[in-house]
Amino acid sequence: MAAQDTQRKLTAILCADVVGYSRLMGDDEEATVETLTAFRKVFLLGIENHRGRVVDAKGDAILAEFVSVVDAVNSAVDIQRELAGKNADLSGERRMDFRIGINLGDVLVKDDVIYGDGVNIAARLEALAEPGGICISRPVYDQVEAKLKFEYEYLGEQQVKNIAKPVRAYRVLLEPITHSQADGNGELAIPAQSSSLDRPGKPSIAALPFNNLSADTNQEFFADGLVEEILTSLSKVSSMTVIARNSTFAYKGKAVDVRQVARELGVRYILEGSVRQGGNRLRITAQLIDSTDGSHLWAERYDRVVEDIFDIQDEITKEIVTALRVRLTDGEPALLFSRGTNNVQAWGKCVESHQYFYLYNPADNAKALELIEKAVELDPTYGLAWALMGLIYWYVSRTAFAVDSHRALARALELEGQARALDETNPWISRLSIFLRISAREFDESIAAAERALALHPGSARMRHTYGVALFANSQPEKAVLMIEDAMRLNPHYEPSYTSWLSRAMDAAGNPGKAMEVIEAGLVRNPTQFGLFFNRAAILARDGSASEAKEAVADLRRNNPNFRVSHVDQFLTLRDQEYADTIAESLRKAGLPE
């Protein structure tokens, strides 16, 4: 490519396409083309009215550029609002929703066409947008946040396909949020980026990752585990809303404005701190900040030996509860400060194992198992470690990553018994028990166990997700969808399995189109998640064309070569056997081996 034929420039890039376009064309080609033609006119006029230039507009996709990001966002908002009005006149199955992604980036220009990562990122943001929605990058947000009268929901750092570094993404909220007023207890809700995160009458708190000030960078997991333990204790207080730790992981290692973080996560209070370890000595600082005015409600420094870590965790938790003047109901104090081990090394191995486990692939599962085995060697009375080991074996039994899935399941059952004998109320043990009841087809027992666990841990996103899984297994997919979505609101940067179970429940509830949207967005964030490959193959094998089904099954087998039709029942254990049988037969016809 000759240098004189190309140039570089900084530009605002808009990418858009139609959600479920293939389905719409398959249902009614003529009606789809007619609607698309009308909607494209809205797009082209909206771009022109805001001084944009259409770069490409083939099929259902549109690529445009703007000199100003303000013009780009205003154009997108106007377009989506007008299209929403037009969709209101269409029947539900004929709606044509566009997703829009906007990025500000450096591009290469040749023959009036733009290329480069700036364009690719805009396309990935478009895939993250909701139907009828707009998703923007951090550079765009930084330019428009103070200039445009919209509100924005922070979606965290997104690891997207073919882009080396994570992309910080924001959703543009097209409708203004009504901010709640002060309640009878004097709580004033922060203007939240997602109104569902703000629960009136409950103090809401998030904890930033504690800074690791130790010379050994391998101690990162120690600092992360400290925050996890504090939040786990706080989540047991029913009168608090606690945002899960991985929702704040995007801020790790960055200088942040706590007021901005609070707005992005929809909370009022922020906990931050640092950890420094040298030999057997430990220094921990922590402070609780009210984001409404930036004031410090409480701050403390702890100079102790490493073995005091659990006492420090409890002290920090008590100080937070006291500072927020939360009245504990009967029984909550004992739950709040329950402890599973006094062995710091065992606890550290458990924390590190947990981080590997949720990468959901065979190699990292093996690493997680190796670490958790060391934890139980260090403290054989550590119930949580035995439970996490059981969860690893249970997951392997479902996914057929292991050669002998039945032996893995038997081992998980054995480990549950050991864990329960040591620590009856630990949420991880409750979670394992619920999953094992489902695998044993003890559906009523799984629901009862989930209800008990949620009562013990009412503020836990993880327990709400687990309850949603139990509802799905019990053939209550509509309720499962609501519960899992509630868990995702409590933990906006949820672990990969949330989208897998949500899309599965949506399909079982009779909404495969919405399920496919969740799957595709999930694969952008987590391109190796086996559950999403299974769900996509299952839906396309049942509802798609023969070529789509064959391709989806091939993708599933590349992701997990061991998986067979014979494994469907253990992966998809349901009270409604007819649904599971339909999926198995569809996958068989699409080429999945027996």
CA distance 105 to 111: 19
CA distances from 214 to 211, 221, 274, 281, 361 (A): 9, 12, 10, 11, 30
Distant-in-sequence, close-in-space partners of 148: CB < 8 Å, separation ≥ 6: 70, 73, 74
DSSP 8-class letter at 174? S
CA distances (Å), origin 335, targets 324, 330, 346? 18, 10, 21
pLDDT at 139 over 60: yes
- Mean pLDDT over each residue of the chain, to the nearest integer: 81
Per DSSP, 148 falls in state S
pTM of the complete model = 0.54
| Phi, psi angles (nearest 5°) of residue 411 | -65, -40
Output the 3-class SS for 330-387: CCHHHHHCCCCCCCHHHHHHHHHHHHHHCCCCHHHHHHHHHHHHHHHHHCCCCHHHHH
Once rounded to an integer, what is the mean pLDDT over residues 20-42? 87
Please tell me which residue, 473 or 356, carries the higher pLDDT value. Answer: 473
**Residue 327 pLDDT exceeds 60:** no
Q: Read off the pLDDT band of 4 (50, 70, 90).
A: low
Q: Note whether 155 and 231 are within 8 A (CB).
A: no
Vertex 196: Cα angle to 168 and 84 (nearest 5): 75
Residue 272 · residue 248 · CB < 8 Å: no
Query: pLDDT category, 402, cuts 50, 70, 90?
Result: low
Residue reference for tokens 């952008």: 524
The Cα-based distances of 84 to 28, 42, 62, 94, 131 in angstroms read: 21, 11, 18, 13, 10
* Helix (H/G/I), strand (E/B), else coil: 209: coil
Task: Count Cβ atoms below 10 Å from residue 84 Cβ, excluding itself.
Answer: 13
C-alpha dihedral (257, 261, 267, 273), degrees to nearest 10: -70
CA distances from 37 to 31, 294, 365, 492, 512 (A): 10, 51, 49, 36, 26
User: What own/partner pairs with CB < 8 Å and gap ≥ 24 does 521-524 have?
Assistant: 521/127, 521/128, 522/496, 524/124, 524/127, 524/128, 524/158, 524/160, 524/161
Least confident of 187-191, 257-261, 331-335, 484-488: 187-191
Distance of CA 172 to the CA centre of its chain: 18
Instruction: Encode 511-564 in three state secondary structure.
Output: CHHHHHHHHHHHHHHCCCCHHHHHHHHHHHHHHCCHHHHHHHHHHHHHHCCCCC
- Please give the helix or strand (H or E) that residue 435 lies within, else none: helix 427-439
pLDDT at 238: 61
The pLDDT of 81-87, averaged and rounded, is 89
- For residue 248, pLDDT beyond 80: no
Q: Which residues of 157-177 are buried (b: 16+ CB within 10 A; e: fewer)?
A: bbebeeeeeebbbbbbbeeee
Of the listed ranges 188-197, 428-437, 547-556, the one predicted with least confidence: 188-197
Looking at per-residue confidence, does 249 or 239 come out higher?
249
Tell me the per-residue pLDDT of 546-594, one tens digit each, with 9 for 90 and over.
Answer: 888 899 888 888 878 888 888 888 888 888 888 888 888 988 888 888 8
Above pLDDT 70, what percent of the chain? 87
9 beta partners: 107
Do 97 and 67 touch, CB atoms closer than 8 A?
no
Q: Is 280 exposed, middle or buried (0-12, 13-18, 19+ CB in 10 A)?
A: exposed
Per-residue pLDDT at 333 exceeds 60: no
Q: What is the CA radius of gyration of the chain?
A: 25
Note the pLDDT of residue 2: 45
Residue 508 contacts residue 573 (beta carbons within 8 Å): no
Mean pLDDT of 535-552: 89
Calpha distance 368→391 (Å, rounded): 11
Core vs surface per residue 88-125: b (16+ CB within 10 A) or e: eeeeeeebbbbbbbbbbbebbbeeeebeebbbbbbbbb
Q: Are 404 and 448 in contact (CB under 8 A)?
A: no
- Residue-wise pLDDT tens digits, 343-386: 767 777 787 787 778 777 777 778 888 989 998 999 999 888 89
Question: What confidence category does residue 80 fall into, taking pLDDT thresholds of 50, 70 and 90?
Answer: very high
Q: Average pLDDT for residues 423-445, to the nearest whole number?
A: 87
- Parallel, antiparallel, or unpaired: how do β-strands 134-137 and 98-110 relate? parallel
In this structure, whether the domain defined by 201-336 belongs to CATH 3.40.50.150 is answered with: no
Q: Cα 439 to the chain's mean position, in Å?
A: 24
Taking the CA atoms of residue 571, residue 573, residue 574 and residue 577 in that order, the dihedral angle to the nearest 10 degrees is 90
Q: Does domain 3-173 have CATH number 3.40.630.30?
A: no
Q: Give the dihedral sign, CA 431/433/437/443.
A: negative
- The structure tokens listed for 26 are 């398959």
481 burial type by CB count under 10 A (0-12 exposed, 13-18 middle, 19+ buried):
buried
Tens of pLDDT, residues 490-507:
776 677 788 989 999 999
What pLDDT, on the 0 to 100 scale, is given for residue 413?
A: 92
Query: So what's the architecture of 355-589 in CATH?
Result: Alpha Horseshoe (1.25)
CB 13 within 8 A of CB 119: yes
Tokens matching residue 68: 């100003």
Chain center to CA of 309: 29
pLDDT score at 325: 52
486 is written with which tokens?
Answer: 């509630």
Give me the pLDDT at residue 128, please: 85
Given a contact cutoff of 8 angstroms between Cβ atoms, the answer to whether 565 and 587 are in contact is: yes
Could you tell me which of 587, 549, 507 has the C-alpha nearest to residue 22? 549
End-to-end CA distance of the chain: 51
Domain residue ranges of the chain, discontinuous segments joined by + = 3-173, 201-336, 355-589
Tell me the C-alpha distance between 83 and 80, whole Å. Answer: 5
